[in-house]
Structure 1
Amino acid sequence: MMESLARTFQHELKKATKETYQTSIQSFLNLWSYEYDSFEHIPKEIEKHLYASDYAPLFHEE
């Protein structure tokens, strides 16, 4: 399921415009949190998009 969700998100980002980019990320994070109860184990290829978003503070490196 994780891989499918990640692929779907990446596909959505390819279609996203400047105006819909943040909404796409928010939707992904809502779904991920619902499915997995945390933001742990988000694939690295997804994290790079999150660091470039308004949600970057949620994913600071320790």
Structure 2
Amino acid sequence: MATDDKIRNMAEKARGKAKEVAGRATGDRTMEAEGRGTQAKSDLKQAAEKVKDAGKDVGKH
């Protein structure tokens, strides 16, 4: 995975966590759910990048 993609995904996950925590603190269930959704989206992107990287490694052998 490219370093910039990894950093971008980590930042997106952190924003999602912050949104989730803020929603929980304020009792805003919608914001909390959006934060969890953002984190899940980031996790999926990270998993896709890992699959792409694994595919590149297989092609080298």
TM-score scaled by length of structure 2: 0.38
TM-score scaled by length of structure 1: 0.38
Higher relative contact order (CA 8 A, sep 6+): 2
Task: Identify the structure with the greater helix proportion.
Answer: 2
Greater C-alpha Rg: 2
